[in-house]
Chain A
Amino acid sequence: MKKLLTLGLGLVTLTAAAASAETITGAGSSFVYPLYTKMFAEYKKTNNTDVNYQSVGSGAGQQQIIARTVDFGASDNPMSDETMKTAPGKLLHIPTAIGAVVASYNVPGVTTQLQFTGPLLADIYLGKVKLWNDPAIKKLNPDVTLPALPITVARRSDGSGTTAVFTDYLSKISTEWKTKVGSANSVQWPVGVGGKGNDGVAGIVKSTPGSIGYVELTYAKQNKLLFGSVQNHAGKFIVPDNGPAALAAQGVVIPADTRVSITNSANAGAYPISSFTYVIFYQDQKYGNRTQAQAKEFKNLLNWMVGAGQQYNEPLDYAKLPANVVNKAKTILNSVTYGGAKL
């Protein structure tokens, strides 16, 4: 009993202590959840600031920042102009990491890395290339014995930033894809089976001979899936990894607000199916009952995430932001105000 009491008392003091420190809340992308968990745990060690992040999906993150129920929303793709108009204030985006989407496959007898091109991936996902021994695949992989097995296409059934990146790339590469399917967080797929989440798609790929599915690089690596290299804009076959994904940000003109697609990057070493993941917040931090101290604390956190916090990206298989992007993000952060005055 006594023990229980002390435990209870301890808990009470603990919560009291936690409440006294600043708490920042965020919600959104499930793709960056592992990275943010690590980042925010490290940040708390040095700054005694609690960051409460809920992994609810990019779309929900965008809605929550518009509704001002969180301090920041996290999204794998930038908000559209139309959506930004519905927000009660001016919203800013800064990228915090770069992710790559890979084509993973399960072909009986194939243990080596296959090579894909954008048009080939588009044709597979359009249902035009139906067998693994199709001449189009054979031509790219002359040394591999490919079986006469039907290709089972796996894709996401839920709305997802991963789908947005993948379909954005296919739309850039294939006009047929662009007119027939297009790009969005969820699309009307011509063929295939839907799985919920990266694990749903990976589950289908793992258990179905002859299947192909797109998943995040982080996920493919941690689950030891086989995935192919993809030919980039410069004609080179690039094995997806952190370095090539980061290079994607260097072959594209980054606008001042950083809202840009970096798929099919012109950089010769870039992996073509890469994208930024963003933090979205209000330029003017004075709303609701936010204090200036809170706003300052929040700005410090964001500055740390694009600065010192970047060291946690690569160990968790997210690509680091290149220097030019970090500079743009810092410029954006400098424009943050509190009640019109610079923070």
Chain B
Amino acid sequence: MNETLPRKVKLPRLSSRGDGIFRTVIIGLSLIIALTFVLSIVLLGQQSWPAIQEFGLGFLTTNVWNPVTSEYGALSLVMGTLLTSFLALLISVPLAIASALFVAEYAPKWLANPVGYLVELLAAVPSVVYGLWALFALKPLFQQVQLWLYTSNPDLTGHCIELFNSNKTSLPCFFMPQVPTGLGFLLAVTILAIMILPFTASVARDVIRLVPADQREAMYALGATKWEVISLAILPYARAGIMGGVILALGRALGETLAVAMVIGNTPEIIKSIWSPTATMASMIANQFGDAREGLQRASVVGLGLTLFFVSVFVNLIARSIILRMTPKGL
């Protein structure tokens, strides 16, 4: 019997040389990532040093962007970035989860695959194309609404323009357009919401599919309805994974540049209405870096990059700690 087996089967040794090489390569690669992170901070810090020296923390708390007098403060831009990103997230996450549930739980197979594929394809569309689409398709619609608001409430319009001009706003004015161009905060939020949708949706779909069949079947066996299965068995199980998708989407929203710069109206002011033209850190960098020639302006624009970097890291850390808390024990 023994002779039928070849005698000299060479089993790979447990610690072959390949293992060592692979380990070194892997460690090297991860070190490169860490190094890139550190080097970006160092380089951004170095380039923006003149601005940091000149303005200090005031760079983050003042709201002025005046190349003539060389005064720079990023408050409105930081707020622009955070407000657009979080509002976009607020709109897109429910939609993304709904689409993921549809694809994973409700849709028949012949429909689930194409829909899932199309949602993922949304992530592959370049942001400049989203920007163009927003300009050509959404902007005229928004403008129609703005003009209608403008003309249907002439008294309120006049009152609000007075308020806006003296840098104030009120609750009703917060929903009145500042200038009827269609461009502004709400358009940027809308386009961002659409752009980040696939990130949450495709991750959510995958983790929902990964929920063990036992979980569902156990619920059904207890006589649960489909909705009860989803809300009590599937979503809690998939929660951590879905949040991972949300963080991905948030990262994209915070850093999105081109599409936002095309539609936001590019005015470094804190919003006085949901329609206000405003700006984000990324859109400001895109607009001003190419032509920032005086030292301080250049340093301030790079300083925006550094701020964006830290804001992203900070927001991500918070999001991560939220996930840790939300993850059910034992998973």
- Residues on A lying within 8 angstroms of B by beta carbon are 56-60, 62-63, 82-83, 127, 130, 150, 152-154, 157-160, 181-189, 191-196, 200, 203-204, 207-211
Contact = CB atoms under 8 A, between A and B. Distances in A.
Nearest to A185: B291
Contacts of B65: 188
A209 B179 CA distance: 10
B69 interface: yes
Contact of B68 (A153, A182, A191, A200): A182
A301 B287 CA distance: 33
A193 B291 contact: no
B295 to A, nearest CB: 8
Which of B135, B147, B290, B293 counts the most A-chain CB atoms under 10 A from its CB? B293
B287 A157 contact: yes
B28 interface: no
B161 A193 contact: no
The 10 residue pairs across chains A and B that have the minimum distance between CB atoms: A159-B291, A157-B266, A194-B266, A59-B291, A182-B68, A59-B293, A188-B66, A57-B290, A158-B287, A152-B179
B312 interface: no
Nearest to B66: A188
Contacts of B143: 207-208
B180 A152 contact: yes
Contact of A193 (B64, B165, B267, B293): B267
Chain B: number of interface residues, binned into ranges: 35 or more
Interface of B: 64-69, 135, 139-140, 143, 147, 150, 161, 165, 179-184, 261-262, 265-268, 277, 279, 286-288, 290-294
Given A150-B161, A188-B66, A207-B139, A193 B290 contact: no
B291 A160 contact: yes
Contacts of A154: 181
Nearest to B268: A188
A82 B181 CA distance: 39
28 contacts: A57-B290, A58-B291, A58-B293, A59-B293, A63-B293, A152-B179, A152-B181, A157-B266, A157-B279, A158-B287, A159-B293, A182-B69, A184-B67, A185-B291, A185-B293, A188-B66, A188-B67, A188-B68, A192-B267, A193-B184, A193-B265, A193-B267, A193-B277, A194-B277, A195-B266, A207-B140, A208-B182, A211-B181
A59 B290 contact: yes
A144 to B, nearest CB: 22
Which of B65, B67, B147, B291 counts the most A-chain CB atoms under 10 A from its CB? B291
Contacts of B288: 158-159, 186
Contacts of B182: 207-208
A184 B66 CA distance: 10
Nearest to A82: B294
A248 B281 CA distance: 39
Contacts, number: 107
A154 B267 CA distance: 11
Given A188-B64, A188-B65, 7 more contacts: A59-B293, A130-B161, A160-B291, A183-B68, A191-B165, A196-B286, A209-B147
A193 B266 contact: yes
Given A192-B267, A195-B266, A158 B67 contact: no
A209 B66 CA distance: 29
Given A188-B64, A207-B139, A207-B182, A194 B290 contact: no
Contacts of A56: 290
Contacts of A191: 165
A213 to B, nearest CB: 11
A207 B181 CA distance: 7
Contacts of B267: 157, 189, 192-194
Contacts of A210: 180
A184 B68 contact: yes
A232 B67 CA distance: 28
Contacts of A184: 67-68
A186 B69 CA distance: 11
Nearest to B291: A159
A150 B157 CA distance: 10
A143 to B, nearest CB: 27
A53 to B, nearest CB: 16
A261 B262 CA distance: 32
Contacts of A59: 290-293
Given A189-B267, A194-B266, A57 B291 contact: yes
Given A159-B288, A204-B181, A196 B266 contact: yes
Contacts of B66: 187-188
A308 to B, nearest CB: 31
B290 A159 contact: yes
Contacts of B165: 127, 191
Contact of A185 (B67, B69, B139): B67
Nearest to B258: A196
B277 A60 contact: no
Given A194-B267, A204-B183, A207-B182, A187 B67 contact: yes
